[in-house]
Amino acid sequence: MQNFTIYGNPVIHSKSPQMHNAGFRHIHLEANYQKTLIEDGKDLKQNFIQNNIQGANITVPHKEVAFKDADQIMGLAKEIGAVNTYINEDGKVIAYNTDAPGFMKAIEEFGKIKKVIILGAGGTAKAIAVALKEAGIKTTVLNRSKNRLEFFRDLDCDVFSWDDFICEDYDLVVNSTSAGLKDDSYPTSVEMLEDILNDSTYAMDCIYGKMTPFLEKAKENRLTFKDGEDMLLYQGVLAFELFTGVKADKDLVESMRQGLKEA
C-alpha cells in the first residue's frame, strides 16, 4: 500500500483526498491519500520522510517552507518560491509547483489569451503570474496594498495598488484575492471592477464551488466566466501523474472530478 497525504493548517476541509482516492480507484492502485494537520511547517519534511509517504500535496500556509526544505526543486517552482507537491525518491524530497500549470490548463478553454489582469498579490497570484509570463502573456497585477508588489515588478508585470491604478483592456480578469471566499466582498471597489470588466472578455475566480460577487459582476457584464474548480482539479491531476507515473486520460480526469464533487 502506498501512502499519500495533504499537509496544511487547517486541512480538515480539503477535498484533495476524495479527488486522489477516486483516481487511485480508477487505475486500481492500492494507495491511500489522507489529510495531515501540520502546525509548524518546519515539521513537514520530517513527517513526510519518517512516515514513508510516497507523495504529498502542501497547502496554506506551508508552501514556502516546503520550498525551502526540499532537496530538489523542479520547474517553475524555482521562480515561484513555493511548492504544493512533494515526491519521495528513495528518501530524497523532490518538489514541484502544479498550481501554475494547473491554472494554465484551466484557462485553455478560453482560447488565445494575450493580456491578463490578476486581482490580488498573494501566493496564488505568484504562481499564476509566473505561469503567464512564462507563456509570454502580458500580465498586470492589481492589489489592495502596495507591500506585496515587488515580486511581480521583478517579474516584469505591470503593477498597481488601488491608489494608482490605470485601467486598460484585458482578455482575462482573474480574481486571486480571498474576497468572496467567506464574505460577500468584491476584490476591488465596485467602480474599479466595473471599469476592469467593461472591456474584458473572460473572467475566472480562483475560489471554487460558489458564485462569488466577482463572478456575479462578470455575469452582469456578459463575460464568459468560470470558478476555480478546474484549477483545483488540474493541479491535482498533474500531482497525481507525478505520484503514480500514469498519464491522465479523459476518463481518469473525469473520475477525479467526480471524486471532487463527492459530499
Binding site for ligand NAP (CB under 6 A): 60, 99, 120-125, 143-145, 148, 176-179, 181, 185, 187, 206-208, 228, 231-232, 235
| Rounded Cα–Cα distance for residues 52 and 34 (Å) | 13
For residues 61 and 81, give the distance between their C-alpha atoms in angstroms, rounded to a whole number: 13
Q: How far is the CB of 49 from ligand NAP (least distance, A)?
A: 26
**Amino acid code (one letter) for 40:** D
Given the DSSP bridges, would you call strands 85-89 and 55-58 parallel, antiparallel or unpaired?
antiparallel
Question: Residue 187's beta-bridge partner residues?
Answer: none
CB-nearer residue toward ligand NAP: 85 or 88: 85
- Least separation in angstroms between residue 239's CB and ligand NAP is 11
Which residue's CB is nearer to ligand NAP, number 88 or number 235? Answer: 235
Position closest to ligand NAP via CB: 122
Paired sense of beta strands 158-161 and 55-58, if any: unpaired
Closest approach of Cβ 177 to ligand NAP, in Å? 3
CA dihedral defined by 83, 214, 18, 262, rounded to 10 degrees? 180
List, by residue number, the catalytic residues: 63
Q: Which one, 128 or 252, has the nearer CB to ligand NAP?
A: 128
Minimum CB distance to ligand NAP smaller for 49 or for 216: 216
- In sequence order, what are the residues at sequence separation of 6 or more whose Cβ sits closer than 8 angstroms to the Cβ of residue 39? 9
Q: How far is the CB of 187 from ligand NAP (least distance, A)?
A: 5
Minimum CB distance to ligand NAP smaller for 209 or for 258: 209
| 59 vs 88 by CB, closer to ligand NAP | 59
For residues 76 and 123, give the distance between their C-alpha atoms in angstroms, rounded to a whole number: 14
To ligand NAP, the closest distance from the beta carbon of 113 in angstroms equals 18
Q: What is the DSSP letter of 97?
A: -
- Classify residue 260 by its DSSP letter: H
User: How far is 215 from 202, CA to CA, in rounded Å?
Assistant: 10
Whole-number minimum distance, CB 210 to ligand NAP, in Å? 10
Estimate to the nearest angstrom the gap between the alpha carbon of 243 and the chain centroid: 18
- Residue 145: half-sphere exposure toward Cβ, Cα within 13 Å: 3
Are 4 and 55 in contact by the 8 Å Cβ rule? The answer is yes
In the block, residue with C-alpha cell 507523495: 55
